[in-house]
Amino acid sequence: MKTLVFDSHSYDRTFLDAANQGRHQLVYTQAQLDVTTAAMAQGYDAVCLFVNDRADAQVMERLAAAGVRLIVQRSTGYNNIDLAAAKRHGIAAMRVTSYSPYSVAEHAVALLMTLNRHVHRAFNRTREFNFRLAGLLGRDIHGSRVGVVGTGRIGAAFASIMRGFGCTLLGHDKIQNPDCLALGMKYVPLDELLAGSDIVSLHTPLTKETHHLINDQTLALMKPRAFLLNTSRGGLVDTEALIAAIERGAIAGVGLDVYEEEEGKFFRDLSDHPMNDDVLARLISFPNVLVTGHQAFFTEQAVTTIAETTIQNLTDHEEGRANECLLT
């Protein structure tokens, strides 16, 4: 299939080409899909999207007019795709149902340990030959209560790691995961989890129900010495409310791999440009906040699986086969 790969980078080309083996005609562009770039898909059978490409109703109309009949999303989340509009225009949508859950889970732990032991601050100090310990005091993670919001494959992998640290596990999800129950996890309402946890990690999809799950009210429930981690979707957290909580000392530390207004910023080198997002600039300025650029998924194993599944989706659709990745 002739496929335009939006929001592509060198690593996308490397892994997709390796998985493709010349089977489909892949054309790469660094442009992100939105209403102004949809016309680029003229003459293509399919478009390949990433998390910050925008396939809303208006874009879907333009893709259909351009002749596109398939969207392959190279991620698990697909909140950027208007599925109802896709169905109206006869455009099939497919995604990557799963990839290495350890990639995201391990990154969440990396954020936690970096924050708790001030590794980022110590790194900068020692580069200047400053070996003082003042201000670098952490605490044992062993014995902590860890709240996992969303206990699917990634949440379960994170829970397993934290159980290995000797932590007590609390969970919140609509469906209780037997693997988490086997780890000794206790499922509780969200309010109870937030109030009782020393560490809270978000691993739930972004939906209308979970948008701004962490807000003024829910942040007020958390312990002042608690850590908050988000490696799922930026929209789970009300960033303005989070900044207010940090400013009043109501939270010990925050590790974010995602940001609700990351579109147009993450996956880009903006080091030569002034930051035009005052909220993000403020967030990054806090010494107890660690922000990474949506890289939790970025391991060899995970990216290989994403590429192979994306190519298989193209092939299955071309040959008239449905699979578990089909959304519409």
- Looking at the fold, whether 135 and 243 belong to one and the same domain comes out as yes
**Is 262 noted as a catalytic residue in this protein?**
yes
pLDDT tens string 159-210: 999 999 999 999 999 999 999 999 999 999 999 999 999 999 999 999 999 9
Residue 325 in any domain: the answer is no
pLDDT for residue 86: 97
As for how many domains the chain has, the answer is 2
Q: Which of 248, 262, 263, 300 is catalytic?
A: 262
Residue 292's pLDDT band (boundaries 50, 70, 90)?
very high
Q: Is 61 a catalytic residue?
A: no
The whole-number pLDDT of residue 264 equals: 87
Residue 136 has pLDDT above 90, yes or no: yes
26 falls within a domain: yes
Average pLDDT over residues 27-41: 97
Q: List pLDDT tens digits, range 40-67.
A: 999 999 999 999 999 999 999 999 999 9
User: What is the pLDDT, as a whole number, of residue 85?
Assistant: 97
Residue 33 placed within a domain: yes
Which residue of the set 62, 145, 233, 260 is catalytic? 233
**pLDDT the model gives residue 164:** 98
Q: How confident is the model at residue 274 (pLDDT cuts 50, 70, 90)?
A: confident
DSSP-derived secondary structure for 248-297: TT--SEEEES--TT-TTTTTS--TTS----HHHHHHHHSTTEEE--S-TT
Mean of the per-residue pLDDT values for the chain?
A: 97
Residues 21 and 7 in one domain: yes
- Can you give the CATH number for the domain in which 133 is found? 3.40.50.720
Identify the pLDDT of residue 118.
Answer: 97
Closest CA to 116 of 143, 140, 134, 133: 140
315: pLDDT strictly greater than 90: yes
Closest to 30 (Cα-Cα) out of 14, 50, 56: 50
Residue 141's closest CA among 110, 113, 171, 111?
A: 113
Whether 63 and 189 share a structural domain: no
Say what the pLDDT of residue 90 is: 97
Q: Indicate if the alpha-carbon torsion angle 214, 159, 139, 133 is positive or negative.
A: negative
Query: Is pLDDT above 90 for 275?
Result: no
- The CB density around residue 180, as the number of other CB atoms within 10 Å, is 23
Q: Residue 250 above 90 pLDDT?
A: yes
Q: Are residues 105 and 81 in the same domain?
A: no
**CA–CA dist 27, 17 (Å, integer):** 10
> Residue 62 sits in which domain range?
2-99+300-318
Looking at the fold, whether 237 and 312 belong to one and the same domain comes out as no
Number of Cβ within a 10 Å radius of residue 104 = 25
* Nearest to 310, CA basis, from 71, 55, 123, 101: 71
Residue 80 and residue 106 in one domain: no
Q: Given this model, what pLDDT does residue 244 score? A: 98
Question: Is the distance from CB of 238 to CB of 215 less than 8 angstroms?
Answer: yes
- Answer with the residue of higher pLDDT: 328 or 147: 147
Note whether residue 261 is domain-resident. yes
Inside any domain, residue 145: yes
